[in-house]
Structure 1
Amino acid sequence: MQTIHVCNHTTPEALYPFDARGIAKRFRHAAIFGALDALVPGEVMRFCNDHDPLPLLGQLQQRYGDTVSITYRQREPGAIVIDFARLA
Structure 2
Amino acid sequence: MTTTTTTEIDIRTIPPYERHAQIFGSFDELPAGQALVIVNDHDPVPLRRQFEARTPGQFTWNYLQAGPALWRVQIDKLASGPAESGGDSCCSGGGCGG
In structure 2, C-alpha distance between the alignment counterparts of 1:49 and 1:30, rounded to whole Å: 15
CA RMSD of aligned residues (A): 1.3
Where does residue 40 of structure 1 map in the other structure? Answer: 31
Where does residue 4 of structure 2 map in the other structure? Answer: 14
Runs of 4+ in 1 over 6 A off after TM superposition: none
- Aligned identity (percent) is 34
Listed as ranges, the gaps of 5+ residues in structure 2 are 80-98
TM-score, normalization: structure 2?
0.73
TM-score, normalization: structure 1?
0.81
Cα deviation, 1:2-46, whole Å, max 9, x if unaligned, reads: xxxxxxxxxxx9312111111000100100110110111110111
Listed as ranges, the gaps of 5+ residues in structure 1 are 1-12
Bigger RCO (CA 8 Å, 6+ sep): 1
Do residues 66 (structure 1) and 53 (structure 2) align? no
Where does residue 23 of structure 1 map in the other structure? Answer: 14
Compare CA radii of gyration and give the structure with the larger one: 2
One-letter amino acid matched to 1:50: D
